Structure 1
Amino acid sequence: MSATTSRFATPLVADVVAIAVFTIIGRASHEEALSVTGFLTTFWPFLVGTAIGWVITAAVPGGRSFAPAALWPAGVVVWISTVVFGMVLRAVSGQGTALPFVIVATLATGLLLLGWRAVALAVSRRTASSV
């Protein structure tokens, strides 16, 4: 995989996996069926929200090149977009958006979407300092 491909593909896959993990844990914690249909019903609004965050971050780089693995601004924009647009899409599609769910979803997606970026940053700094 080229450096350019990995610069975009790795963070994209990590974000999709983070949203999938959030979905699986959430459905399992509520003892909801882990069927493909059930998974996709819960997953798609947050996945679309994540995609919107990527588009926003890529379109408004703030004078810098788009760095999707960065905590700021990419990670924060993707996280907030995931929650905001995910909840709007859930509401429009007749899914629940109770305040406790919004709070848990905000915290959990923040942990997952920002967490992998923080780990990647720490590893890259450690690798750079040992060279």
Structure 2
Amino acid sequence: MSTPRRSPVLAFAADAVVVVVFAAIGRATHDGDVFGPFGAGLATTAWPFLVALVVGWLATRAWRAPLAVGRTALPIWVITVALGMVLRAVSGQGVAVAFVIVAAITLALFLLGWRGAVRLATRTRRSSPRR
């Protein structure tokens, strides 16, 4: 297990990675980019959500409880989706209703899911008998 000081850094990195993966999946699904999902357009797709993620981390003070689902992950998810969509709209990118729904579901699975997996693994490790 990581030290308490490293845990927020790793948690933020995990959040940033899943946001970029979300953007890459979207690009791979809807774009014929020669370089695949990691082509030049990835930054264009990801930046609104990455900025929103940073705002979510600051607003929730996520570094205090980076693995908390209710106190940290849920508000970060809401801010990342809502502000990310606003930033996309302001920058001239599409925000169709179907995209908002898919983004909300995918980011919920990603931002909440990795925390749930870590918590489950930690509980399982603590409850397993030592040899």
What TM-score does the superposition give when structure 2 sets the normalisation length?
A: 0.88
In 2, Cα distance between equivalents of 1:105 and 1:27: 12
Alignment of 1:34-113 (within 5 A): 34=37, 36-58=39-61, 66-113=64-111
In 1, Cα distance between equivalents of 2:29 and 2:67: 29
SS at structure 1 position matched to 2:40: helix
Q: Where does structure 1 lack aligned partners over 5 or more consecutive residues?
A: none
Offset of residue 35 of structure 1:
5.1
Q: Tell me which residue corresponds to 1:8.
A: 8
SS at structure 1 position matched to 2:31: coil
> Kindly tell me: are residues 52 and 93 of structure 1, through their superposed partners in 2, closer, same or farther at Cα, counting changes over 3 Å?
same
1:48-70 deviation per Cα after TM superposition (whole angstroms, max 9, x unaligned): 11111101111xx8xxx821121
Offset of residue 128 of structure 1:
1.8
Matched-pair contact (CA < 8 Å) for 2:24–2:38:
no
Q: Tell me which residue corresponds to 1:114.
A: 112
In 2, Cα distance between equivalents of 1:36 and 1:67: 34
Q: Tell me which residue corresponds to 1:21.
A: 21
> Kindly tell me: are residues 32 and 50 of structure 1, through their superposed partners in 2, closer, same or farther at Cα, counting changes over 3 Å?
farther
In 2, Cα distance between equivalents of 1:87 and 1:49: 9
In 1, Cα distance between equivalents of 2:16 and 2:67: 13
Q: How many residues align?
A: 126
Offset of residue 36 of structure 1:
4.1
> Kindly tell me: are residues 24 and 57 of structure 1, through their superposed partners in 2, closer, same or farther at Cα, counting changes over 3 Å?
same
1:28-81 deviation per Cα after TM superposition (whole angstroms, max 9, x unaligned): 0113423543000000000011111101111xx8xxx82112111111011111
SS at structure 2 position matched to 1:120: helix
Offset of residue 2 of structure 1:
6.2
Runs of 4+ residues over 3 Å off in structure 1: none
What TM-score does the superposition give when structure 1 sets the normalisation length?
A: 0.88
Q: Percent identity?
A: 44
